[in-house]
Structure 1
Amino acid sequence: MDTTDNFDAFYTATSARVVHQVYAVCGDLGEAQDAVQEAYARAWIRWSRLSGYDDPEAWVRTVAWRLAANRWRSARRWLAARARLGPPVTAAGPTPDRVAVMTALHRLPEAQRRVVVLHYLCDLPVAEIAEATRMPAGTVKVYLARARTALACLLGTDDERKESDVSAHP
């Protein structure tokens, strides 16, 4: 038998038993399966040496138990850290103004939206925007101007929008 067949036979003969043993120790079938799978993956890497052991299953079982224990320790440390930090801070939802701005931005053409975000949110000057987007500086300025005009219409008060709609359609 070659190495792969030898390992496959070992895995087939022992894996269910090792999963049950690790499950009995950790009490979580999913964790046991994950730990055993990782242990067999490590065994495969070392199979040329492990295959000569009197009981390679004992090696796999020990590694799986240690992996499961380490996961539980990590979970306990995480829970202890969360307890020290207190309850998570809840963030307030977006304000109506923020929703209006995001909605208006999404109504702009993508190139204009990118330029506006880079200029107003990232505080980049026109020259850096031109370099980052590979556009001429004049194009960046035109996009900014068009975007400001469009955003002014989109973000004006309801009365202003109604007036612009009436004046646009005589």
Structure 2
Amino acid sequence: MRTESDFIDLYEDHYSDLAGQVSAYLGDASEAQDMVQEAFLRAWQRWDRIGVYDQPLAWVRRVAWNLATNRHRRNQVARRFLLKQRDPEGVPAVNPDHIALHEALQKVGARQRKAIVMHYMGDMSVADIAEVCGVRAGTVKSWLHRGRKELAGLLGDDPRPPADKTPTRQRTFEGGNHS
């Protein structure tokens, strides 16, 4: 039987090459690394049996390729399924207002953005948001107020009339002494 050191040597000597091969097959390096790591993990879990094989790498390679092939098949089935699907009805198309809102939300502070999204898009109550965030309801109300105010300014929908930038004139009253 081979030792733990033999397994480590096998892994270090062959992981990169095998991950490269599976990556070329799948077209996704990250997914390939997951497959090869899973194959080595399975070999380690059975090392008492796999370690006595003449070529334990052949077993690891076979498992990695089987995992990759299964993943590739599932991805193909999913792609075919998605291609057959029609756009869901009732989902509004993206329009300039959606894009402007998304961009404005990215400029709002994280707490305010989270509260606004949870409340208006997630349809959560102030109490529910407070519970999820671990804060008081008053804090959530404050976040919502500040977030709405900031969004209104970013979107140009501020309900308050813009401040008049012209200098104010002093009122003069006719008659009487107004010192």
TM-score range, shorter chain: 0.5 to 0.7
How far is 1:72 from its partner? 1.5
- Separation in 1, partners of 2:3, 2:104: 61
- Residue matched to 1:28: 25
Alignment-mate amino acid for residue 28 of structure 1: Y
Q: Does 1:8 align with 2:1?
A: no
Instruction: Evaluate the alpha carbon distance shift between residue 45 and residue 136 of structure 1 in structure 2; reply closer, same or farther with a 3 A threshold.
Output: same
Q: Does 1:92 align with 2:82?
A: no
Structure 2: runs of 5 or more not aligned: 169-179
Instruction: Evaluate the alpha carbon distance shift between residue 6 and residue 136 of structure 1 in structure 2; reply closer, same or farther with a 3 A threshold.
Output: closer
- Separation in 1, partners of 2:64, 2:46: 15
Query: Could you say what secondary structure the match of 1:95 adopts?
Result: helix
Give me the identity figure in percent.
27
- Separation in 1, partners of 2:40, 2:158: 64
Kindly provide the CA deviation profile for residues 121-162 of structure 1, in whole angstroms up to 9, marking residues without a partner as x: 34747xx4896541559x959x95xx77xx69x63589x42x
Instruction: Evaluate the alpha carbon distance shift between residue 29 and residue 75 of structure 1 in structure 2; reply closer, same or farther with a 3 A threshold.
Output: closer
1:35-46 map, 5 Å: 35-46=35-46
Give the number of the structure whose residues are more often helix, by fraction.
1
Instruction: Evaluate the alpha carbon distance shift between residue 82 and residue 117 of structure 1 in structure 2; reply closer, same or farther with a 3 A threshold.
Output: closer
CA RMSD of aligned residues (A): 5.3
- Residue matched to 2:18: 19
- Separation in 2, partners of 1:6, 1:130: 53
How far is 1:42 from its partner? 1.8
- Separation in 1, partners of 2:46, 2:129: 55
Alignment-mate amino acid for residue 68 of structure 2: A
- Separation in 1, partners of 2:158, 2:28: 56
How many pairs are equivalent? 150
Alignment-mate amino acid for residue 164 of structure 2: D
